[in-house]
Each structure stands twice: as structure tokens, then as C-alpha cells.
Amino acid sequence: MQTLLDGAQISRLLAAMADEIAADDTFQLRSAAAPARPVALVGIRSRGELLAYRLAELLAQRSAKPQKPIDAGALDITFYRDDLASRGAITIPQGTDMNFRIDDRPVILVDDVLETGRSARAALDGLVAFGRPSIIRLAVLIDRGHREFPIQADFVGLHVTETARHQTIRVRLQPTDEQDAVYLAEEEL
């Protein structure tokens, strides 16, 4: 297993992503006037959720009104996946946790790894089941290519393009895991 990122590198990438999002006028984070509908971050369970909360914290620090928290939540895409019936293991839903409305407001969908685009597609289906955002943008820590769906991330921490299909990217984040790290692993066939 090869280490691609350690905890400090992940923190730097998230800070750079937060800077890029804050600079995007779509979200009006640097505006002194309150935006009509403030941005919300929704992470795909489980590690996308952790990244969404971290990004929300970083964005609140970069906001013109840093005392106001940014809404962040988690989306369970289990029942929106197109491979649910064909998966070998039984998937137990973890539930969606969004205690805010997403209607008519910009939403940033957050995931750890963008590969085929299937998870992002399922998340889009799940997200619109909860409301109609004014705009949806995708932020991912790692974009590794190998698309099967025409989905592209708007905000990317790191592009990892030199991988084979049999390899996997494993993201580990605290508190779910012992440490923050990203690994490239050989999949056991």
C-alpha cells in the first residue's frame, strides 16, 4: 500500500479547496451583505460527510461573517445506487442527516473520491429528493478518473490519474479512522 497523502497534506488540500470555494462569487462568502440563500454543504456518507464538516468550518473562517456557521450535513445514497442488487455484501443504510432546507439555495455536494461517477449520480438523485437547490456543485478530495458517467468535479483537492482499474484509493479520516491519510492499494482479485 502506497501513501498518497498524510494528515498535513490533506489539511493543506482542504484549505486550498476552501479558498477556491470562498473565491467563487456563486456562494457570496466574501460579501459583507448576507446572501439571499446561504450555501450548504452535503457530504456523501461516510467520509464525504467528514470532509463536508471540515470544509464548512474552513469556509466559515473565510466568510465575511465568520461568526455564522455554514450548514453541513450528510446524505446516505444507499437506496439511490444503481448497483444495490448486485453488491455482494448487504448494505445497511446509515441515514441522512440534514437539519436544514436546501430549496432555492446553492449546495456543494462533497465526496472523498470521484472515480466512475456512479456515487455522485446517486447522490444527485438523493439530494433532489430533499428539495430543489438553486445550484449544485461537486467537491472531492481525490479525482482519479476512470469515469463511467459524464460527471466532473468543480472543486478538486488532488488529481490522481496514474492508477490502474484494479487499484483502489482508500481515504482514512478521523474520527472514523485512527489517522488522516490517503492510500493507493492493490485490490485483491
Number of helices (H) and strands (E) in the chain: give both, helices first: 3, 8
Q: Is residue 91 very low, low, confident or very high in pLDDT (cuts 50, 70, 90)?
A: low
* 79-83, 141-145, 164-168 — most confident range: 141-145
pTM: 0.89
Residue 188's pLDDT is 59
| β-pair type (181-186, 167-172) | antiparallel
If one counts every other C-beta atom within 10 angstroms of the C-beta of residue 181, the result is: 19
* Residue 151 in this model has a pLDDT that exceeds 60: yes
C-alpha to C-alpha distance for 60 and 78, rounded to whole angstroms = 30
What is the tens place of the pLDDT at every residue in 169-188? 999 999 988 999 999 998 75
**Mean pLDDT across the stretch 133-148?**
94
Q: Is residue 95 very low, low, confident or very high in pLDDT (cuts 50, 70, 90)?
A: confident
| Mean per-residue pLDDT over the chain, rounded | 88
Residue 189's pLDDT is 47
Cell digits for 110?
462533497
**Mean pLDDT across the stretch 62-86?**
76
Residue 81's pLDDT is 64
Residue in 52, 54, 64 with CA at minimum distance from that of residue 22: 64
Annotation: CATH topology of 2-29+37-186: Rossmann fold (3.40.50)
Residue in 186, 139, 179, 185 with CA at minimum distance from that of residue 158: 139
Residue 21's pLDDT is 95
Residue 137 β-bridge partners: 108
Residue in 25, 96, 20 with CA at minimum distance from that of residue 59: 20
Residue 108 β-bridge partners: 41, 137
C-alpha to C-alpha distance for 59 and 32, rounded to whole angstroms = 14
DSSP 56-101: HHHHHHHSSSTTSPPEEEEE--GGG-TTTTT-SSPPPP---B--S-
Residue 29's pLDDT is 82
What is the tens place of the pLDDT at every residue in 10-46? 999 999 999 999 999 888 887 776 676 889 999 998 8
